[in-house]
Amino acid sequence: MNRDFQNSSDLLLDISILYRSTQKYYDQMLQSISLTYAQLPILILIYENEGISQQQIAQDGGYDKGTITKQVQKLEEMGYIRVQPSKKDKRAKELYTTAKARGIMSKVYAIRTSWWRHISSSIPKEDMAAFSNFYKNMAASAKEFAKADLNAISFFEHQKLSFQSVPGKVSTIVATGGCNYRCPFCNESHLVFLKEDSISYSQEEILQYVKSRKDMLDSITITGGEPLMHTELDPFLKKVKQMGFFINLMTNGSYFEHLKSLVEQKLVDRVVMHIKNVPGKYGETIGLKTYEIHEVEKSIRLLNTEKIESVFVITPVHEFHTPEDLVAMAKWLQPAPSLELHIFEEKETVIQKGYHGYTREELNKIKKELEVYIPNVKIR
């Protein structure tokens, strides 16, 4: 693949490396006083805030109740802290360090200072001060985000207006992230392989947008990636439906049960299903060594039998599709009412470079053969 992993930003990986290296250092240095890296910040919080409650530590440190209770019990068993009921609130417990803990704190601070000096030695003081400030802000944002509705869907592209997505309608297009396919000629690598700093749009942002443009928009198109990977899509579609919008869904058809559920609930009005190749070539075309197409076949049958507007789409690429394959695909899709042939043009965001699409002239020559099996064939 042509993606540059070495030069790509991956804050999560960097944080992981820093965390694991820090943990290794602290566990080694704290071994003589029987402490661990996990217990250290809790002990320091208690030492610097005598009488602090478990609840406050959990809140300040972003701990869950079970974790903080377990670590406090261990510190108490080792004789580093004592726990006593609060005089103000008998349900709360106050935490205090013991003489044993106070006797080791100078060593603890020295260990911490030594590590900080080591990891920051090559960074100018001004940069380190800025980094510390950014890091604190990110930690605060992370704590705040943890309180949010984590089941709400996020989108990673938003085209505010489209006059081509749904014939005769003005649409807005949103794209989900992630896909279970790895089609080498896919132009949406940024949606298949999401970078951690990818721009995202919350469900609420999109809902606010469509609500504010209700007089202008007729429909919303959901694309990807593969939207049906996300069960959290359903509540979003229900809210959009309640606003009265026409919903156009684009899918690869590999999540049959989810597709069937949306059709039965009438949460989609139109389905555009991308067909990748003839059954025998499906795996290689979607970048997987082996692939069972049963779910895809069931989705095809569903769209051919249910009373819902549907379109099948093929993007012919010379390296994967022969003209005979295209005819065989049309025959396989019977009795589909309509088929679109999309002209492939390589973009910078393609997963793998070097593939060649059919020209409009080439597709026009094949079009009549396809219309033997599907009456309405368009080239786009």
For residue 198, name the pLDDT band (cuts at 50, 70, 90): confident
Boundary (domain end) residue, out of 115, 145, 175 = 145
Per the structure, the count of domains in the chain is 2
- The torsion defined by the Cα of 247, 272, 184 and 234, in degrees rounded to 10, comes to 40
Structural domain of 63 = 11-145
* Percent share of the chain, pLDDT over 70: 96
CA distance 236 to 206: 10
pTM score of the predicted model: 0.70
Task: Say whether both 302 and 363 belong to one domain.
Answer: yes
- Do 131 and 172 lie in one domain? The reply is no
Question: DSSP label at 228?
Answer: G
Same-domain check for residues 355 and 206: yes
Same domain, 94 and 243: no
pLDDT digits (tens, 9 = 90+) for 101-136: 999 999 999 999 999 889 888 988 888 888 888 778
Q: Which of 123, 145, 167 is the last residue of a domain?
A: 145
Is residue 7 over pLDDT 50?
A: no
Is 350 within the bounds of a domain?
A: yes
pLDDT confidence bin for 14, thresholds 50/70/90: confident
- Smallest CA-to-CA distance from 213 within 164, 173, 178, 249 is with 173
Over range 77-94, report the average pLDDT.
88
Shared domain for 43 and 172, answered yes or no, is no
CB 142 within 8 A of CB 62: yes
Helical residues (DSSP H) of the chain, grouped into ranges:
11-30, 40-48, 54-61, 65-77, 99-120, 125-145, 189-192, 203-212, 233-242, 256-264, 282-285, 294-305, 323-332, 360-370
* CATH code, domain carrying 163: 3.20.20.70
What CATH number has the domain bearing residue 51?
A: 1.10.10.10
Residue 202 and residue 338 in one domain = yes
What pLDDT shows up at residue 130? 86
Mean pLDDT of the 128-151 span: 73
92 plus 219 within the same structural domain: no
pLDDT at 34: 93
Give 289: exposed, middle or buried? Use CB within 10 Å, 0-12, 13-18, 19+. Answer: exposed
Give the pairing type, strands 157-162 and 93-97: unpaired
pLDDT at 376 over 60: yes
- What is the rounded (10 degree) CA torsion for 159, 163, 167, 169? 90
pLDDT tens digits, 242-262: 999 999 999 999 999 999 999
Q: How far apart are CA 195 and CA 55, in angstroms?
A: 35
pLDDT in tens, 312-345: 999 999 999 999 999 999 999 999 999 999 999 9
152 contacts 202 by C-beta, under 8 angstroms: yes
Q: What is the pLDDT of residue 129?
A: 83
The pLDDT score that the predictor gives to residue 30 is 94
Residues 229 and 191: beta-carbon distance below 8 Å: no
Alpha-carbon distance 269 to 262, whole Å?
A: 9
pLDDT at 5: 38
What was the pLDDT predicted at 89?
A: 80
Do residue 210 and residue 359 come from a single domain? yes
Q: Is 351 within 8 Å of 183 (Cβ atoms)?
A: yes
Among the listed residues 40, 18, 38, the one whose alpha carbon sits nearest the alpha carbon of residue 110 = 40
Residue 170 and residue 216 in contact, taking contact as beta carbons nearer than 8 Å: yes
Pair 122, 256 in one domain = no
My answer on whether 125 and 211 are in the same domain is no
Among 4-13, 169-178, 248-257, the least confident range: 4-13
Q: Are residues 136 and 180 in the same domain?
A: no
Instruction: Pick the last residue of a domain from 110, 145, 180.
Output: 145
In a domain, 115, yes or no: yes
Question: Does some domain include residue 4?
Answer: no
What is the pLDDT averaged over residues 357-372? 96
Residue 47 in this model has a pLDDT that exceeds 60: yes
Q: Which residue has the tokens 């940069």?
A: 127
Rounded-to-integer distance, Cα 328 and Cα 280, Å: 11
